[in-house]
Amino acid sequence: MDTTLPGPGHAPGSVRPPDARRPRATLWILRVLLSVHVLAVLGQPLLAGLYLSGDVDAITVHGIVGSALAGLGLVLIGGAAAYVLVGRGRWWVLPATVVLFFAEGLQVGFGYARQLNLHVPLGVLIVTVSVLLAAWVWTPAARPGRR
């Protein structure tokens, strides 16, 4: 005997389908990874600004966080692959995270090579894309799976 009350639009005694609107675990993993990623990315201009204002040690932390973003980028690709392949999420998320990973790799290289004419604009692009991805993953548009 079913002792649970049916939700709106369900007759008593009918079998309730699983809640298709509830986010899947792969979406939650992607949300957490993109949120951590965007926090690290947003810290980078702050650390660079601290360095330019005279805090010489900030550039060391800037380099460490930049290198850590490369590792986090690989984990993010794994999370995006799970979201797309297992969670049946939006297909474009996986190539977007791969491109972001390669851009961050270039960014680290340009930074260590002191190519600021490439490092700064690419950094702006990385921050913009990261913020847009992190904001999108928390919207309802990220929730439904492909049919």
pTM for this prediction: 0.79
Neighbours of 40 (CB within 10 A): 15
What is the predicted pLDDT for the residue at 143? 84
Report pLDDT for 4.
54
Cα–Cα distance measured from residue 42 to residue 47, given in angstroms and rounded to the nearest whole number: 9
In a domain, residue 6? The reply is: no
Whether 100 is in a domain gets the answer yes
Residue 10 lies in a domain: no
Residue recorded with tokens 């980078």: 44
The pLDDT of residue 24: 85
pLDDT at residue 6, as a whole number: 54
- Per-residue pLDDT tens digits for 28-76: 999 999 999 999 999 999 999 999 999 999 999 999 999 999 899 999 9
- Model confidence pLDDT, tens digit, residues 113-140: 999 999 999 999 999 999 999 999 999 9
Structural domain of 68: 25-141
Question: What tokens appear for 36 in the block?
Answer: 């951590």
8: in domain: no
The residue type of 84 is V
Return mean pLDDT, the chain.
87
3-state percent helix, strand, coil for the chain, nearest multiple of 5: 70, 0, 30
Residue 68 lies inside a defined structural domain of this protein: yes
Contact 83, 27 (CB under 8 A): yes
Residue 101 within a domain: yes
CA 139/CA 71 separation, integer angstroms? 26
- For the chain, the domain total comes to 1
Predicted confidence at residue 88, as pLDDT, reads 86
In a domain, 18, yes or no: no
Digit-coded pLDDT (tens) for 6-28:
555 555 555 555 545 555 899 99
Q: Which residue did the predictor score with more confidence, 130 or 88? A: 130
